[in-house]
Amino acid sequence: MKSNNILRFINRLNFPMVLGAFLVGGLVFIAIAGQSIAPHDPMENFYIIEAENGEFITPPFAPGQVPGFPLGSDFDGRDILSRLLVGVRPTLILVTLVVFTRMIVGVVLGFAEGWYAGLPGDIIGHLTKIALSIPILIVALMVIYILELQMEAWVFIIALTITGWGQVARIIAERVRLVRGETYIEAARALGAGNLRILWKHVVPQVRTLILVTLSFEMGAVLLQMAELGFLGMFLGGGAIRLIPDPKSGGFFQEHITGQPELGQMLAAGWENFIYTPAMPAVVGTVFFLAVFSFMMLGEGLKRYYAEPTSSGLVARLRASGLVGPVMEGRQAYEGTRTLGIGD
């Protein structure tokens, strides 16, 4: 009997939500407490360290080569682990700003496209198609170059939002268009309710769970785009390039000089010096992967949660916009007509 209860609990467990919430919680904790738990100052340079055998070691340190540097160091002798712990915060803040900007633009235009038929909806629909047809990364690179390579937060917000809102608008518009044709919406119109009242009282409650799911997926998508930009040398804060002599070849190789740590910065600097510090891009890439994976799993878990019936009558709220099949339950339509409350 006890084993059956355990199996039933495991079968009903929303594993993506549990795992995603755990990983996102860990990411947020690092963003908040990273500065406090970092073993070194991320800007401190260790140009030479004496090992226990009396040998002097110069950077870059390999992982585990020097005590206190478990992930090694960069060319300036700065601890990679400390820079990772501190670099999560600015990256996560920037990604959050980009996502919220995208969501505001996408939700507003999505509501307008889905609710208003005729010319206004068609114009917004065509704009959405144009935004979806252009790769976000190409647009972002163009915007950054047009703004003369200014690597400030507002530049990334504009670059990643100028067409990035398209996917959000499409999802919201499909859901609003589906709800607009329901029986209780027609009943509200017949009783004299205006557009704003219907939208606020009957459409928004049907869409808010979808917004939450989309928000989680957008966090993962923007994190991936930030990694792509970092790989191409575009990162928050910019930096300078210096030439370092190579005693083996007699030539020089380039290294980005970065200030305060940020994950995109570390990925760019590590990849450019992959031959000399292969651990750095591998570690930063793994952090990006885990961050993207955590938000994608959380979004999948939320989608499953809201798509399943519950004891309170929550039925298939996300069956639209490609996330789940676009089906509205008759019970929702029936209960909607009972709870119009037009006269209150």
The identity of residue 105, as a single letter, is V
100-104, 183-187, 308-312, range with the lowest pLDDT: 308-312
pLDDT bucket at 94, cuts 50 / 70 / 90: very high
The identity of residue 128, as a single letter, is T
Higher pLDDT, 59 or 53: 59
Q: What are 109-123's pLDDT values in tens digits? A: 999 999 888 888 899
Beta-carbon contacts of residue 311 (< 8 Å; ≥ 6 apart) = none
3-state secondary structure of 234: coil
Q: What are 238-277's pLDDT values in tens digits? A: 655 555 666 666 666 555 556 678 888 888 877 777 777 7
Higher pLDDT, 75 or 301: 301
39-43, 260-264, 311-315, range with the lowest pLDDT: 311-315
Higher pLDDT, 22 or 230: 22
Count of C-beta atoms within a 10 Å radius of residue 21: 16
Assigned superfamily of 15-67+86-338: MetI-like (1.10.3720.10)
> What is the distance between the terminal CA atoms of the chain, rounded to a whole angstrom?
51
- Which residue is associated with the tokens 């990604």? 95
Instruction: Give the mean pLDDT of 68-74.
Output: 86
pLDDT of residue 329 exceeding 50: no
24-33, 89-98, 330-339, range with the lowest pLDDT: 330-339
pLDDT of residue 319 exceeding 50: no
pLDDT of residue 161 exceeding 90: yes
Mean pLDDT of the chain: 81
18-22, 25-29, 263-267, range with the lowest pLDDT: 263-267
Degrees to nearest 5, angle at CA 80 with 75 and 81:
165
Beta-bridge partners for 49: 57
288: closest CA among 262, 255, 256?
262
- Give the dihedral sign, CA 308/314/320/322: negative
CA atoms of 129 and 106, how far apart (whole Å): 13
Written as six digits, the tokens of 240 are 């300078």
Please enumerate, as own/partner, the contacts of 245-254 that have beta carbons within 8 Å and a separation of 24 or more: none
Calculate the CA 70 to chain-centre distance.
Answer: 28
What's the confidence (pLDDT) of residue 288? 94
What's the confidence (pLDDT) of residue 322? 39
Q: Is 312 exposed, middle or buried (0-12, 13-18, 19+ CB in 10 A)?
A: exposed
What's the confidence (pLDDT) of residue 243? 59
Number of DSSP helices (H) and strands (E) in the chain, helices first: 13, 4
- Which residue is associated with the tokens 């329901």? 182
What's the confidence (pLDDT) of residue 252? 61
pLDDT of residue 340 exceeding 60: no
Contact 103, 218 (CB under 8 A): yes
Higher pLDDT, 191 or 87: 87
pLDDT bucket at 9, cuts 50 / 70 / 90: low
DSSP codes joined into one string, 171-206: HHHHHHHHHHTSHHHHHHHHTT--HHHHIIIIIHHH
pLDDT above 90 covers a percentage of the chain that reads: 40
What's the confidence (pLDDT) of residue 258? 61
CA atoms of 164 and 160, how far apart (whole Å): 6
Q: What are 129-143's pLDDT values in tens digits? A: 999 999 999 999 999
Instruction: Give the mean pLDDT of 217-223.
Output: 95
CA atoms of 256 and 232, how far apart (whole Å): 12
| pTM, rounded to two decimals | 0.79
Beta-carbon contacts of residue 119 (< 8 Å; ≥ 6 apart) = none
